[in-house]
């Protein structure tokens, strides 16, 4: 009887492990793209989602997209773009030049005008369903933004609160507390949300689960971030109007 119980326990554990392994998140750094090099800029090159961002689904508003744009971006219309291979590096903040953040590929989500041309504005998002690794405390990612960008991160339909953890030459490192969903399977979604003041663009790269906890933002920090955004917006207006 003991042997049978042990065998059953081991078998159950192996099955659970394999089930989790089959549901792991994939292509979190976007390096799994299988694309041929194309020249940067217009006219836009449309490529399939399965080739550009395998493992992810893409949405403009609530409409799932079959294709995204390679090595180009929109100046007003909502779009999901992949940069790479052989595309320039993203400009320093608060630069107006999106591009590759790290490696050979990065993704840009652009909230903007509905491509259907009905006069509405739509958000841009990517999502995939997977298993949050055991022991995960946070989900961290590198983001390139404009001074007007508003974005959200959610897991299983629950909005998470991004906290700035640091910065690099052309990105801000953000983290969200994922500890409540440790060991769970569900959809992870990143969205460039509506901004009433300007272009809400979100460049993404190097998404990773971490055992490092994310500190909660304090009111003082939030006030400081708000002041910084105002300064960056003024600089943005000077740059785009000159």
Q: What is the pLDDT of residue 218?
A: 55
| 110, containing H or E segment | strand 106-110
Residue 230 has pLDDT above 70, yes or no: no
Of the two residues 148 and 173, the one the predictor is more confident about is: 173
Task: Look at 51-60, 146-155, 215-224 and tell me which has the smallest mean pLDDT.
Answer: 215-224
Q: Give 15's DSSP letter.
A: H
The ranges assigned to domains in the chain are 45-241
Of the pLDDT bands very low, low, confident and very high (cuts 50, 70, 90), residue 4 is very low
At residue 82, the pLDDT reads 98
> Where residue 59 falls among pLDDT bands split at 50, 70, 90?
very high
Q: How confident is the model over 143-157, as pLDDT tens digits? A: 999 989 999 999 999
Average pLDDT over residues 212-216: 89
Question: Do 66 and 48 form a contact (C-beta atoms < 8 A)?
Answer: yes
What pLDDT sits at residue 14? 37
For the residues 179-199, what does the mean pLDDT come to? Answer: 93
Digit-coded pLDDT (tens) for 95-128? 568 999 999 999 999 999 998 888 889 999 999 9
Tell the CATH topology of 45-241: Jelly Rolls (2.60.120)
Mean of pLDDT values over 185-206: 93
Distance CA 204, CA 62 (A): 20
Give me the phi and psi of 236, to 5 degrees please.
-60, -45
DSSP 3-state assignment of 98?
A: coil
- Tell me: pLDDT of 15 over 60: no
Contact (Cβ atoms closer than 8 angstroms) between residue 30 and residue 83: no
pLDDT at 60: 97
Instruction: Indicate whether 7 pLDDT > 90.
Output: no
């Amino acid at each position: 009887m003991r042997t049978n119980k042990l065998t059953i326990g081991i078998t159950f554990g192996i099955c659970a492990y394999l089930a989790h392994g089959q549901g792991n998140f994939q292509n979190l750094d976007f390096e799994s793209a299988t694309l041929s090099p194309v020249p940067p800029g217009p006219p836009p090159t449309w490529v399939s989602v399965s080739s550009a961002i395998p493992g992810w689904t893409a949405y403009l508003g609530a409409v799932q997209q079959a294709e995204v744009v390679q090595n180009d971006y929109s100046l007003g219309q909502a779009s999901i773009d992949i940069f790479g291979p052989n595309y320039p590096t993203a400009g320093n903040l608060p630069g107006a030049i999106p591009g590759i953040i790290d490696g050979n590929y990065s993704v840009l989500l652009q909230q903007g005008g509905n491509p259907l041309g009905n006069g509405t504005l739509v958000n841009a998002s990517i999502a995939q369903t997977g298993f949050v690794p055991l022991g995960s405390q946070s989900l961290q990612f590198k983001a390139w933004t404009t001074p007007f960008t508003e974005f959200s991160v959610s897991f299983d339909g629950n909005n998470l609160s991004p906290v700035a953890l640091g910065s690099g030459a052309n990105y801000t490192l953000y983290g969200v507390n994922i500890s409540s969903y440790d060991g769970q399977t569900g959809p992870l979604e990143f969205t460039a949300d509506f901004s009433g003041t300007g272009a809400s663009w979100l460049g993404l790269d190097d998404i990773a689960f971490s055992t490092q906890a994310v500190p909660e933002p304090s009111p003082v920090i939030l006030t400081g971030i708000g002041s910084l955004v105002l300064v960056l917006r003024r600089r943005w207006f000077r740059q785009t109007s000159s």
